[in-house]
């Protein structure tokens, strides 16, 4: 071999270095020789991987909406027909302020409308969402005495199952909105909840039936009572209490004493 010559089959660049294709070819040749020397081992590994793949294909759980831990907690507030500006001042803003200093919170977004509000709390992807949900629930419990008692709150982590599949809107121009709410609550909601595959049915909006009691300050003062005494009396009267159990003919009956105020005359 003379000076400047190269081995047969090798490619040499003008600078004397081997080309990238030549190096790749050598690697492939070495891999081929390794496979030939260990043919039985390679066949066994290939068969094991194929068997594992077939087993996984038949046993891997599938879902149209797989569980995914999104770093987001949703707070839904329902407060009947409360005006949007009042909702913002008495409910939405206090909740946002309470969520600000929870560990891992990155941002808070909210949408407020008449009678309802949605507050979305976004967390860092690295936080434990179970613990973060507990933090949110704890802060809301601390706010129980600061927000209107008419407001009902629902809290959950955002998952695919949290999205509603279908929404139904009820309208009845010739009926009171409280009557429509009772129909939705006691007739439609239970029937939908019994449908196979339905996990949860939520009732949003409307107005729950209620009585407005207007006190006479003069009569209260004459009786030596305060407005708080009147409220306590109404609360103590408006209840259902167990009276005990009765066993007869091998059957056990639970007796209840109802003091619910069902009409203005009862009040």
Q: Please count the helices (runs of H) and the strands (runs of E) in the chain.
A: 9, 6
Q: Which DSSP string do the residues of 208-227 spell out, in sequence order?
A: ---------HHHHHHTT--H
Most confident of 58-72, 157-171, 190-204: 190-204
Domain ranges of the chain: 20-59, 72-193, 217-258
Question: 40 or 61: whose pLDDT is higher?
Answer: 40
| 175-187 per-position pLDDT tens digit | 888 888 888 888 9
Angstrom distance (rounded) from CA 264 to CA 234: 12
Question: 139 or 240: whose pLDDT is higher?
Answer: 139
Q: Which CATH number fits domain 72-193: 3.40.1370.10, 3.10.20.740, 1.10.760.10, 3.30.70.1430?
A: 3.30.70.1430
Query: pTM of the predicted model, to two decimals?
Result: 0.49
For all residues of the chain together, what is the average pLDDT?
81
Sequence-distant (6+) residues with CB within 8 A of 182 are 209
Q: What is the pLDDT of residue 60?
A: 77
Q: Which residue has the tokens 């609360």?
A: 235
| 216-267 per-position pLDDT tens digit | 888 888 888 888 888 888 887 777 777 778 788 888 887 777 777 777 777 7
Sequence-distant (6+) residues with CB within 8 A of 10 are 18, 22
Residue 164, pLDDT above cutoff 70: no
Angstrom distance (rounded) from CA 7 to CA 46: 36
Residue pair 101/71 in contact by the 8 Å Cβ criterion: no
Q: Is 80 left (phi over 0), alpha (psi -120 to 50) or beta?
A: left
Q: Which residue has the tokens 């690697």?
A: 27
Angstrom distance (rounded) from CA 79 to CA 208: 10
Q: What is the pLDDT of residue 17?
A: 52
Angstrom distance (rounded) from CA 234 to CA 225: 13
Angstrom distance (rounded) from CA 204 to CA 226: 36
Residue pair 67/107 in contact by the 8 Å Cβ criterion: no
Angstrom distance (rounded) from CA 156 to CA 162: 8
Mean of the pLDDT values across residues 196-220?
81
Question: 152 or 5: whose pLDDT is higher?
Answer: 152
């Amino acid at each position: 071999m003379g000076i400047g010559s190269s081995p047969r089959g090798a490619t040499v660049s003008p600078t004397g270095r081997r080309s990238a294709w030549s190096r790749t070819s050598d690697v492939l040749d070495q891999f081929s020789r390794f496979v030939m020397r260990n043919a039985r081992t390679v066949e066994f590994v290939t068969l094991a991987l194929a068997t594992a793949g077939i087993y996984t294909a038949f046993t891997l759980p599938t879902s149209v909406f797989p569980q995914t831990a999104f770093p987001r907690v949703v707070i839904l507030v329902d407060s009947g027909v409360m005006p949007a500006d009042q909702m913002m001042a008495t409910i939405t803003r206090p909740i946002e302020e309470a969520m600000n200093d929870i560990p891992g919170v990155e941002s808070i977004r909210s949408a407020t409308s008449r009678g309802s509000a949605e507050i979305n709390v976004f967390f860092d992807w690295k936080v434990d969402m179970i613990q973060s949900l507990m933090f949110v629930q704890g802060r809301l419990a601390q706010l129980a005495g600061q927000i209107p008692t008419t407001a009902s709150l629902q809290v959950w982590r955002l998952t695919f199952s949290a999205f509603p599949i279908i929404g139904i809107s009820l309208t009845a121009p010739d009926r009171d909105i409280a009557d429509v709410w009772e129909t939705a609550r006691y007739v439609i909601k239970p029937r939908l909840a019994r449908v196979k595959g339905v996990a949860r049915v939520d009732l949003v909006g409307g107005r729950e039936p209620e009585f407005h009691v207007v006190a006479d300050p003069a009569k209260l003062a004459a009786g030596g009572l305060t407005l708080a005494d009147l409220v306590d009396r109404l609360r103590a009267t408006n209840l259902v209490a167990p009276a005990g159990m009765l066993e007869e003919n091998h059957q056990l009956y639970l007796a209840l004493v109802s003091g619910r105020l069902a009409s203005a005359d009862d009040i």
